[in-house]
Amino acid sequence: MRLTIHRGAKEIGGSCVEITAGRTRVIVDLGMPLVSPWNKKEKLETRGFAKKSSQELLDMAVLPKVAGLYAMDGGGAAVDAVLLSHPHQDHYGLLGHIRPGIPVYLSDGCRRIIEASDIFLPIKANIRNPVVIDDRKPVKIGDITVTPYLMDHSGYGALAFLIEGDGKKVFYSGDFRAHGRKAALFPKFVRTAPQGVDCLLMEGTTLGREGRAPETETDIEEKIAGIARRYKGIKLVYASGQNIDRLVSFYKAAKSIGGVFVVDLYTAFVLDSLGNKNIPHPCASCRNLRVLYTKNYVIKLAQAGREDAVKRYRGSEITLREIAKAGEKAFLMYRESIRPKIEKIGDLKDAAMIYSMYEGYKREESFKKVQSFLDENKIMLETAHTSGHASFDDLKRLAAALKPNVLTPIHTFNPERYAELWPKVRSLNDGETFEP
Ligand SMILES: [Zn+2]
């Protein structure tokens, strides 16, 4: 078996791993890098990438060089499959460039989120040949057997993979944590972890960012409700429309104070697309979840031929007047496109914004506009967030459960810290091939 980390060995984002066994080649994740290929301290500006060709992105070293993967290099044997761990752009953001025939193996939840998001996001996965795989059900791809494991993560339907071939076993953790709404998956995994693993590729996002033990998603829900009680104005919510665990926390917090969680059409569509009745979504009986319509998203849904959704959510639509009336009991998802509407609500006195994302995004250019809006309107900024990634102790627990022959860093800026997690570390550089 041969294993190459094309990208992501020593950085967070842009994950791409190639595994070959027998005559079979699979790629695990094909993420958008978050930092410059040349300088890992420099953030990569990806905004214009949707308009760039595969060749341009290859020349920019954004697309990793992998033979038989891209639509543009039509010749040669195609990669047999792409395995996708979860629906975050740093894992799937470059999928739009692959040959359309290559099957993409992913969980049902992951497929639903990506298909819904493709309608709204500039960078699209356009998966033409999806193959849905289920928790702990092995699938054969040529000479390779893949067993997916459902993990707790802020990305919905996240999978880890056990990849077997040539008598060897590689385990790819994907991104995971043990303190989200599916936290119970972690102790279950630890109890039943596959044994005889030759190489464990494990994420280490939080290394170098360690603090206190991570708050659970339920802690966050209570924190949100607590913040809500302190402010007499409306609550603006700054959160990802794809972080389902977090949306549930806001919904529950809103419900606990008899309030209403107002989402934009994009978020409404994502929630609805999950087809999961346990997750809040726009429907006649979900009166604590309402939808604020904006033209830009109506157009996007219409362009995708989804007027049915536009029509259906009208039953959950909320007007600005109703939001104003709900006042302190209204939680409103903030979007740049919603901002002019928020200003029309009128009195923003004693309103607060609840920031619910990675702290680092606050320092980014895109947040400056938000900050100046808050300053102009004297809106307080509060934070309620917990990481989507495993703590140091939980990383250590995963390694101990799998007892790999070697531990290999991936998805981390601090690979040198892995020696604290497991005694046998085999660090790789991007592009380096290793035979477990
Ligand atoms: Zn990631």
Pair of tokens at residue 38: 């040349």
pLDDT at 337: 87
- What are the CA-CA distances from residue 312 to residues 265, 294, 323, 425, 429 (Å)? 11, 15, 20, 53, 50
376 to 80, 330, 354, 366, 373: CA distances (angstroms): 54, 21, 17, 17, 5
What interhelical angle do 265-273 and 108-118 show, nearest 10? Answer: 150
β 81-83/24-28 pair status: parallel
Q: Amino acid letter at 20? A: T
CA of 131 relative to ligand 1 center, distance in Å: 21
Stated pTM of the model: 0.95
Alpha helices (H) in 107-216, listed in sequence order: 108-118, 185-192
**Ligand 1 centroid distance, CA of 89 (Å):** 8
The Å distance, Cα 333 to ligand 1 centre, comes to 24
Q: Residue 87: what pLDDT?
A: 97
| Residues in contact with 127: Cβ distance below 8 Å, sequence separation at least 6, in sequence order | 95, 104, 106, 111, 114, 115
Task: State in Å: Cα 44 to ligand 1 middle.
Answer: 15
- Condensed to tens digits (0 to 9), the pLDDT of residues 315-356 reads 999 999 999 999 899 999 999 888 888 888 877 889 999 999
Instruction: Spell out the residues 6+ positions from residue 192 whose beta carbon is closer than 8 angstroms to its own.
Output: none
In the reported structure, the alpha carbon of residue 409 is separated from the centroid of ligand 1 by a whole-number distance in angstroms of: 13
Please classify residue 60 by burial: count the beta carbons closer than 10 Å to its beta carbon, then call 0-12 exposed, 13-18 middle and 19+ buried: middle
Taking a 5 Å cut-off on Cβ, the residues next to ion ligand 1 are 90, 175
Q: How far is the CA of 340 from the centre of ligand 1 (A)?
A: 33
Determine how many CB atoms are found less than 10 A away from the CB of residue 392: 19
- CB environment 85-100: b (16+ within 10 A), e (fewer): bbbbbbbbbbbbbbbe
- Which position has the token pair 């917090």? 253
Q: What is the mean pLDDT of each run of 10 residues along the chain (436 residues)?
A: 98 97 98 93 91 96 95 87 97 97 97 97 96 98 98 96 98 97 96 98 94 91 94 94 94 94 97 95 91 96 97 95 92 91 84 93 88 93 95 97 98 97 98 97
Domains of the chain, each with CATH number or no CATH:
2-210+388-434 (3.60.15.10), 217-383 (3.40.50.10710)
Going from the Cα of 314 to the center of ligand 1, the distance in angstroms, rounded, reads 35
420 Cα to the center of ligand 1, angstroms: 21
Going from the Cα of 25 to the center of ligand 1, the distance in angstroms, rounded, reads 22
Ligand 1 centroid–CA 226 distance in Å is: 30
pLDDT of residue 304: 97
Rounded to the nearest whole angstrom, what is the distance from the C-alpha of residue 368 to the centroid of ligand 1? 24
